[in-house]
């Protein structure tokens, strides 16, 4: 079981959204402030297709079904820990 919420994607080895070819996508340089700000967030990056000239933004991370399982696991864990701490505090300092 992988305890991860965000999974890294590899746009360099994935399909071009425009022409559908694999392995033609390369990272592209930011040309304006908007594109620079996207790079700055580190969540997405600019890419360009060598084959068809497509240029756009692709996410660097994605969520899948394991993300929800992990999230649920963390919530249950947090609630359980909070409950235990509360019990301990009540036992020592309560009434």
Tell me how far apart the alpha carbons of residues 5 and 86 are, in angstroms, rounded to a whole number: 28
Stretch that binds Zn ion, among 15-23, 40-48, 62-70, 76-84 (CB under 5 A): 15-23
Interaction residues for Zn ion, span 17-76 (CB under 5 A): 18-19, 49, 51-52, 54
Task: Assign 56 to helix, strand or coil.
Answer: strand
Considering the complex, state which of residue 6 and residue 54 has its C-beta at the smaller distance from Zn ion. Answer: 54
Angle at 7 between CA 64 and CA 80, to 5 degrees: 70
Tokens of 24: 């033609």
Of 22 and 82, CB closest to Zn ion: 22
Query: How many residues at the interface with Zn ion, by CB under 5 A?
Result: 7
11 lies in the binding site for Zn ion (CB under 5 A): no
Contacts of 82 (CB under 8 A, 6+ apart): none
Nearer to Zn ion, 54 or 66 (CB): 54
Q: Which residues, including other chains, have CB under 8 Å from residue 84's CB and lie 6 or more apart?
A: none
Positions in the binding site for Zn ion (CB under 5 A): 16, 18-19, 49, 51-52, 54
């Amino acid at each position: 079981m992988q305890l991860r919420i965000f999974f890294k994607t590899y746009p360099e080895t994935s399909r071009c959204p425009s022409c559908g070819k694999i392995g033609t996508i390369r990272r592209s340089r930011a040309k304006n402030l908007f594109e620079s700000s996207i790079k700055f967030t580190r969540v997405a990056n600019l890419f360009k297709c060598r084959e068809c000239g497509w240029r756009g933004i692709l996410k660097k991370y994605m969520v899948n079904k394991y993300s929800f399982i992990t999230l649920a696991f963390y919530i249950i864990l947090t609630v359980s820990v909070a409950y235990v701490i509360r019990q301990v505090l009540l036992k020592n300092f309560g009434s």
